[in-house]
């Protein structure tokens, strides 16, 4: 006997009773299409990278820049604080003249790696210009009126070269001197880069540095310029100081963006699984 014939036939149970309404479809049974999920994921990724790019742009826009060509006859007090030691003076007449320890100090500090550029000429042989950074703005007025602290680069014909100085310019440590020949009344373009540890100096040739050295000493975040005491005379036609955001800040922003992308990928993979 066929075993199938030993079982009584059962009527099939209808999925829906005749005349009864169909149940409303459950939202839990509906899954998004792959194309729709990808689109939403791409939109979220786009938003995240928009935040990242906005952060990077904000950092770039927050870079500090002081540019002064010393036009007219008045020193811009928004940029500089002028002072002088004994007979020194600061004069602006479509250019800046620092005489006998005339001094200008930036009116505000700079945060981040620095680039300092400028153009200077020397009308007299016994002159040198001191360029100070990582500087508190304090001067040793009872003695020579030089900077009391910070790091300095000294340039001018009186030195027959360029000096790198740490601390008080007159009594401080001058670990480096590089020879350089000057001509009177000749403009010299200079550039200093400082990342907080490494200092590089350029003169005229902006591709090959005159020297590179290191120092971790810092007394502040101001920048200052002054001429030699008593007999100094420096003529400056332009100065630009730029502080850029720390590279670590950019890395944090990009890292946060990448972390957000990882989380989104995991969520998308969980939904597909």
- E strand residue ranges, the chain: 64-68, 80-84, 89-92, 96-99, 102-106, 114-121, 129-135, 151-156, 161-166, 173-179, 188-194, 198-203, 211-214, 222-227, 233-243
Lowest mean pLDDT segment, chosen from 8-17, 40-49, 174-183: 8-17
Q: DSSP letter at 25?
A: P
CATH no. of 64-247: 2.60.120.560
pLDDT computed for residue 29 by the predictor: 45
pLDDT (tens digit, 9 = 90+) per residue, 128-172?
999 999 999 999 998 889 999 999 999 999 999 999 998 765 556
CA 101 to chain CA centroid, Å, is 31
Average pLDDT, the chain: 81
The DSSP H or E segment spanning 255 is: helix 247-272
pLDDT of 32 above 90: no
pLDDT computed for residue 244 by the predictor: 87
Using alpha carbons only, give the angle 107, 116, 91 rounded to the nearest 5 degrees: 55
Domain ranges across the chain: 64-247
Q: d(Cα 72, Cα 200) in Å, to the nearest integer?
A: 32
19: left (phi over 0), alpha (psi -120 to 50) or beta: left
Using alpha carbons only, give the angle 214, 225, 130 rounded to the nearest 5 degrees: 55
- How big is the chain, counted in residues? 273
Q: How many CB atoms lie within 10 A of CB 196?
A: 13
- For the residues 86-98, what does the mean pLDDT come to? 96
């Amino acid at each position: 006997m066929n075993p199938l014939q030993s079982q009584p036939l059962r009527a099939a149970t209808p999925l829906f009773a005749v005349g009864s309404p169909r149940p409303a479809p459950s939202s839990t049974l509906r899954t998004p299409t792959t194309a729709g999920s990808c689109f939403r994921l791409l939109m979220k990724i786009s938003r995240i990278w928009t935040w990242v790019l906005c952060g990077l742009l904000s950092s770039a826009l927050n870079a500090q820049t002081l540019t002064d060509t010393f036009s007219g006859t008045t020193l811009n007090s928004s940029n500089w604080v002028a002072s002088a030691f004994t007979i020194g003076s600061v004069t602006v007449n479509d250019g800046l003249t620092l005489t006998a320890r005339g001094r200008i100090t930036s009116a505000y500090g700079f945060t981040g790696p620095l680039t300092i550029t400028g153009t200077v000429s020397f009308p007299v042989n016994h002159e040198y210009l001191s360029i100070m950074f990582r500087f508190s703005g304090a001067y040793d007025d009872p003695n020579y009126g030089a900077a009391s602290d910070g790091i300095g680069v000294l340039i001018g014909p009186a030195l027959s070269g360029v000096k790198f100085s740490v601390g008080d310019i007159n009594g401080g440590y001058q670990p480096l001197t590089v020879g350089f020949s000057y001509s009177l009344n000749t403009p010299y373009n200079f550039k200093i880069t400082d990342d907080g540890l490494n200092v590089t100096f350029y003169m005229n040739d902006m591709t090959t540095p005159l020297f590179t050295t290191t120092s971790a000493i810092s007394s502040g975040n101001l920048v200052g310029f002054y001429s030699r005491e008593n007999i100094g005379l420096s003529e400056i036609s332009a100065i630009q100081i730029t502080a850029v955001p720390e590279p670590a800040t950019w890395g944090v922003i990009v890292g946060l963006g990448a972390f957000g992308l990882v989380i989104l990928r995991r969520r998308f993979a969980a939904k597909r699984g």
